[in-house]
């Protein structure tokens, strides 16, 4: 859908595609559990051999439809909703980093993300090195170590409003054999689609412009499907070697371009459980339906303020 339609169409139409007689509006599947016919079918669902629903912590149709809309808007292969932007950022890193690992991060990021990365992840044995996003390539490259697993930045930083050179960050990350993760909360895919500039994973706090009505805290992770995990298999054992908690399944082999997002859903969400409630996903979807109308107005408002300040000799 994302290749054929403009963002404004995707805002309204993507994700939920009802068949004849089904509700036109995305329903709230307010159900913990889903019916199955046989124990064998349930076992296949649990073993990821068949796609379908059985327990909302793992997957829910309302959440999946909204995640699919955001994936279409970003031009990714799939997405997963989380309870908050904080949860999205935690999962995005923890999906590929474990105790003893390290990642590199732009120093211009949201304070909550800074605390998560610098303080809380450190307690889990994951170290971060912050770099100035405006530093030359060589200086940023010096921050990489043998155990570095990712590069992270915000497309427009909160609160300093610095615009990330995504192409530069992608070039550096890929030279080092790691993915670039971009928090795209502020521009939203209406104003910037980081995958088009080389990012591999996009995260959002949907709490802001995407929700748009200040009703629901939420987050999202989108996978471009572009990073070749197997080409760097030694760095990413969680994706490229068998998962003992899934009967020895190897995500990169079993799911190819969907390996990262499948692991995030099937393993991290199963174990950590920070799901977005279907009710909040429904409200988020209503916000997304007008994102293409609201973002240009936000830009117009910001330009009016900036022009006023620029022309004021007291500033
Ligand atoms: C850029 C950015 N990322 C992540 C977050 C965290 O999101 P949430 O408040 O939804 O947990 C925020 C919150 O302000 C943010 O501005």
How far is ligand 1, taken at its centre, from the CA of residue 85, in Å?
Answer: 5
How far is ligand 1, taken at its centre, from the CA of residue 58, in Å?
Answer: 23
Question: Of 97, 90, 98, nearest to 274 (Cα)?
Answer: 90
How far is ligand 1, taken at its centre, from the CA of residue 49, in Å?
Answer: 35
How far is ligand 1, taken at its centre, from the CA of residue 90, in Å?
Answer: 11
Domain topology for 7-310: 3.40.640
Distance CA 133, CA 117 (A): 16
Domain spans of the chain? 7-310
For residue 154, the ligand 1 atom closest to its alpha carbon is 1
Mean pLDDT over all residues of the chain?
97
Name which residue sits closest to atom 10 of ligand 1, judged by CA: 85
Reduced to 3 states, what is the DSSP secondary structure of residue 173?
A: helix
If phi over 0 gives left and psi between -120 and 50 gives alpha, with beta otherwise, what is residue 114?
Answer: alpha
Name which residue sits closest to atom 14 of ligand 1, judged by CA: 110
Other Cβ atoms within 10 Å of 82 Cβ, number = 30
Distance CA 291, CA 298 (A): 10
How far is ligand 1, taken at its centre, from the CA of residue 285, in Å?
Answer: 18
How far is ligand 1, taken at its centre, from the CA of residue 115, in Å?
Answer: 12
Burial tier of 51 (Cβ tally within 10 Å: 0-12, 13-18, 19+): exposed
Name which residue sits closest to atom 8 of ligand 1, judged by CA: 85
For residue 89, the ligand 1 atom closest to its alpha carbon is 4
Pocket test residue of 83, 90, 107, 113 for ligand 1, highest count of atoms within 8 A of CB: 113
39 token code pair: 């124990």
**Tens place of pLDDT for every residue, the chain, 315 residues?**
545 899 999 999 999 999 999 999 999 999 999 999 999 999 999 888 888 999 999 999 999 999 999 999 999 999 999 999 999 999 999 999 999 999 999 999 999 999 999 999 999 999 999 999 999 999 999 999 999 999 999 999 999 999 999 999 999 999 999 999 999 999 999 999 999 999 999 999 999 999 999 999 999 999 999 999 999 999 999 999 999 998 899 999 999 999 999 999 999 999 999 999 999 999 999 999 999 999 999 999 999 999 999 999 999
Which amino acids bring their CB within 6 angstroms of ligand 1?
84-86, 89, 110, 112-113, 154, 158, 183, 185, 205, 207, 217, 219
How far is ligand 1, taken at its centre, from the CA of residue 294, in Å?
Answer: 19
């Amino acid at each position: 859908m994302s290749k054929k339609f403009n963002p404004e169409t995707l805002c309204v139409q993507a994700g939920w595609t009802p068949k004849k007689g089904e509700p036109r509006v995305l329903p709230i599947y307010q159900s913990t559990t889903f019916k199955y016919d046989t124990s064998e079918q349930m076992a296949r669902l649990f073993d990821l051999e068949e796609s379908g629903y059985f327990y909302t912590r793992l997957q829910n149709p309302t959440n999946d439809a909204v995640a699919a809309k955001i994936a279409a808007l970003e031009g990714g292969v799939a997405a997963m909703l989380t309870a908050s932007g904080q949860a999205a950022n935690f999962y995005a890193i923890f999906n590929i980093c474990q105790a003893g690992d390290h990642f590199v991060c732009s120093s211009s990021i949201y304070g909550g993300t800074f605390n998560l990365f610098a303080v809380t992840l450190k307690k889990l044995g994951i170290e971060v090195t912050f770099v100035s996003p405006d530093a030359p390539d060589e200086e940023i490259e010096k921050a990489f170590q043998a155990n570095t697993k990712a590069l992270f930045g915000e497309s427009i930083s909160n609160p300093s409003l610095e615009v990330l050179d995504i192409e530069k960050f992608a070039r550096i990350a890929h030279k080092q054999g790691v993915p670039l993760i971009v928090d795209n909360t502020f521009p939203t895919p209406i104003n910037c689609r980081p995958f088009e500039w080389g990012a591999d994973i996009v995260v959002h706090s949907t709490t802001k412009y995407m929700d748009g009505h200040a009703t629901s805290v939420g987050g999202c992770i989108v996978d471009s499907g572009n990073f070749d995990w197997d080409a760097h298999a030694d760095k990413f054992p969680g994706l490229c070697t068998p998962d003992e908690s899934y009967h020895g399944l190897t995500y990169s082999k079993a799911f190819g371009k969907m390996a990262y997002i499948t692991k995030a859903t099937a393993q991290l969400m199963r174990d950590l459980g920070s799901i977005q409630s279907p009710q909040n996903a429904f409200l988020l979807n209503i916000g997304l339906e007008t994102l293409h109308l609201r973002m240009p107005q936000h830009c117009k408002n910001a330009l009016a303020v900036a022009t006023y300040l620029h022309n004021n000799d007291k500033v």
